[in-house]
Amino acid sequence: MNLYYGTNVISEDEPCLGLHELNFPCDKGQHRYQIAIVVRDDKPSEYRLDMGSTKLFKGVDQFRIPGGVIEGKQMFIEHSVGELREIAERLREKNVFDKQDHAMDKNRDKRTFQISLGNGN
């Protein structure tokens, strides 16, 4: 598990290792947080924005968007906070992962596997 320093301020044009929108409990119930991983003093730092109650995001999936990678002691960052926030906004508006299709694909694979076992006798 990685522990990051915290930061209270970020800018839209700042390099960003990743942006996540996740639901966590707080003293007011479940809330959705936007978490941006930026660099402070050559170390990853976490910025959290409370987006409000999860009730406001009913039907919206949680997600993680990579903006760069850490390899050893080097960081390779390809995106800014603003770019990842634009992607996050689009993901919130339209779920791109169809869970129904995925469930059907899993069942189809199981049926195919069972049929191939039956034909092998």
**Of 56, 61, 54, which Cα lies nearest the Cα of 96?**
61
pTM above 0.95, yes or no: no
Beta bridge partners of 46: 6, 37
pLDDT tens for residues 64-109?
999 999 898 888 999 999 999 999 999 998 766 666 655 555 555 5
Task: Report which of 31, 35, 56, 54 is spatially closest to residue 46, judged by C-alpha positions.
Answer: 35
Residue 117 pLDDT class (50, 70, 90 cuts) = very low
Contact 44, 4 (CB under 8 A): yes
pLDDT band at 34; cut points 50, 70, 90? very high
Domain ranges of the chain: 5-119
Residue type, 43: K
